[in-house]
Structure formats: structure tokens, C-alpha cells
Amino acid sequence: MREFCLVGVALLLTACGGAAIPQESLTAAKAAVAGAEVGGAASDPKAALHLKLAKEYVAKAESLIADGDNEEAARVIDRAQADADLALSLAKETSAEKEAQDTKESLDRLRKQAQ
């Protein structure tokens, strides 16, 4: 019976071996970081902070993958993706607010001219 349990534990440990390299997720996170950069995240302070965090998480995930800790790398990649998405959203929000303000100012000028 004891030998049976030892064999079962050994099989379980073998089956739960290292997780697969999260290459697709890493590529998606890198693309999200690039998208946030193109979307103007670097020019907005709040967005820039999350962009910086996303880049740091991508670098950390690459290090974890190199060390063979793919499971932890996958979690860090998820965080990088979330921060990159947030950075882009914040940049878009700032851009939309500026555009709305510019439109309001233009409308106010037109109203003054019409009077």
C-alpha cells in the first residue's frame, strides 16, 4: 500500500511539472505596451506610470521564463497586460477630455461671433 501511494505521488508530481512557456501571452502583453505607447500613454502622467509598470512586468516575466518559472511568469504577464490596457485607456480618456474642451471653446467662440 505504501509503495502504491509513493508511485501515486510520483505520478502526480510528474503530471504537475512545469507549466508551458506563456509565449502567446507575453507577445500580447508586449503588443499592448506598444499600443499604449502609440496611443500617447507616455504624455499623460497617470498613463505613463502604468506604462512604466507594464514594461517592468514584461521584463520581470521574461526573467521568470528564463529561470523556468513559467507559472509565475504567466501571472506577471497578466498584470503587465492589465497595466498596458489601463495606460492606453487613461491616455484615450485624457485625449477625449482635451478634444471635448477644445470643441466647447470653439462653440463658445462661434456663439460670441453670432451675437
**pLDDT digits 0-9 by tens, 58-101:** 999 999 999 999 999 999 999 999 999 999 999 999 999 999 99
In sequence order, what DSSP letters do the residues of 48-115 get, joined into one string?
HHHHHHHHHHHHHHHHHHHTT-HHHHHHHHHHHHHHHHHHHHHHHHHHHHHHHHHHHHHHHHHHHHH-
CA dist 87 and 32 (Å) reads: 9
Looking at 2.60.40, 1.20.1070, 1.20.1270, 1.10.357, the CATH number of the domain 21-110 comes to 1.20.1270
8 A C-beta contact, residue 84 and residue 37: no
pLDDT of 63:
97
Longest Cα–Cα distance of the chain, Å, equals 96
Quick one: what percent of the chain has pLDDT higher than 70? 84
pLDDT in tens, 4-18: 444 454 444 444 456
Domain borders along the chain are 21-110
pLDDT in tens, 18-45: 689 999 999 999 999 999 999 999 999 9
* Nearest alpha-carbon partner for 58 in 15, 18, 21, 27: 27
pLDDT of 1:
56
Q: What is the separation, in whole angstroms, between the first and last Cα of the chain?
A: 96
